[in-house]
């Protein structure tokens, strides 16, 4: 599937790559790119063989946030039109966060505004040491509203209060300290590190990986009570008796590779 501004590639080994492809405009957001990202995430979610998705971009910038022309159009929108427009953007972020397979953000350059939301929605992120980040909305009289649930989850409420209100630009290393990105490497090592994470994910049980991701979503923030204990006990009992759970246990006890690994893996 290929569009002007977003490309989606499905590889035979279970990797999907969604790429922002509008480098001459620094991969800035507008309503068309939001629609294309939504379509890409729908396509990825609908492919049962996809085991990991890498979200990246072409060019110098990961994404410069909102496109200037789009912002000019929004200035003339009514309240209802703005709410509808924001709703489509919020739905796109929710789609990304809810993808059933693990997602990796590959951040090679500047990530501003909504681009920080994309990074926050992914399960893990690898950034080049040349990357930088900014939640710059307040500089033009706006707030990072639609991305706020995901950014606050990623970096915490106190850090979000600072960067939402100061609009400071911060480095990849600072982003790592905040938890926004998982790893910071040189530009030359960016794809090497992304591939390491992909290989680690592909080594594991596909069903267990999806169940583990869902486990985090469902358990985070819940009190440890009888209901939670019953829920987690049911989950482990179900996965132990599943086909992949049984195969994984037998392979471990028999000291052999599990069936989901290809030859030589």
pLDDT in tens, the chain (265 residues): 445 799 999 998 999 999 999 999 999 988 899 999 999 999 999 998 999 999 999 999 999 987 777 777 777 888 898 888 889 999 999 999 999 999 999 999 999 999 999 999 999 999 999 999 999 999 989 999 999 999 999 999 999 999 999 999 999 999 999 999 999 999 999 999 999 999 999 999 999 999 999 999 999 999 999 999 999 999 999 999 999 999 999 999 999 999 998 654 5
Stretch(es) of the chain classified as CATH 3.90.226.10: 6-201
Task: Give me the pLDDT at residue 190, please.
Answer: 98
Task: Give the three-state DSSP class for 261.
Answer: coil
- With a CB cutoff of 8 Å and minimum separation 6, the contacts of 77 are 85
Beta bridge partners of 9: 17
- Evaluate the CA torsion angle 123, 124, 130, 132 in order and state its sign: positive
DSSP letter for 2, please: B
Which token pair is 95?
């789609």
CB burial of residue 100 (10 Å; 0-12, 13-18, 19+):
middle
- With a CB cutoff of 8 Å and minimum separation 6, the contacts of 60 are 23, 26, 108, 109, 110
8 phi/psi in degrees, rounded to 5: -130, 125
pTM for the full model? Answer: 0.93
Q: Which CATH class name applies to 6-201?
A: alpha beta
């Amino acid at each position: 599937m290929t569009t002007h501004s977003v490309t989606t590639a499905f590889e035979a080994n279970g990797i999907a790559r969604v790429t922002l492809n509008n480098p001459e405009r620094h991969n800035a957001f507008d309503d068309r790119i939001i629609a294309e990202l939504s379509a890409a995430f729908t396509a990825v979610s609908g492919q049962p063989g996809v085991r990991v998705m890498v979200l990246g971009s072409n060019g110098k910038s990961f994404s410069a946030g909102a496109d200037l022309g789009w912002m000019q159009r929004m200035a003339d929108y009514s309240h209802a039109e703005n709410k509808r427009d924001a709703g489509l953007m919020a739905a796109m972020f929710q789609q990304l966060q809810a993808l059933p397979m693990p997602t990796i953000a590959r951040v090679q350059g500047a990530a501003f505004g909504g681009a920080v939301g994309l990074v926050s929605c992914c399960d893990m992120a690898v950034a080049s040491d040349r990357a930088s980040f900014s939640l710059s909305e307040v500089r033009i009289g706006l707030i990072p509203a639609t991305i706020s649930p995901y950014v606050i989850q990623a970096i915490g409420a106190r850090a979000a209060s600072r960067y939402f209100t100061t609009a400071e630009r911060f480095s990849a290393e600072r982003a790592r300290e905040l938890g926004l990105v998982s790893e910071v490497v040189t530009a030359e090592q960016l794809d090497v590190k992304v591939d390491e994470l992909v290989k680690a994910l592909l080594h594991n049980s596909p069903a267990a990986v999806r169940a583990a991701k869902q486990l985090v979503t469902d358990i985070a923030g819940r009190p440890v009570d009888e209901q939670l204990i019953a829920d987690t006990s049911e989950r482990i009992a179900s996965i132990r008796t599943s086909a992949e759970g049984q195969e994984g246990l037998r392979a471990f006890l028999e000291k052999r590779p599990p069936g989901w690994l290809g030859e030589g893996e």
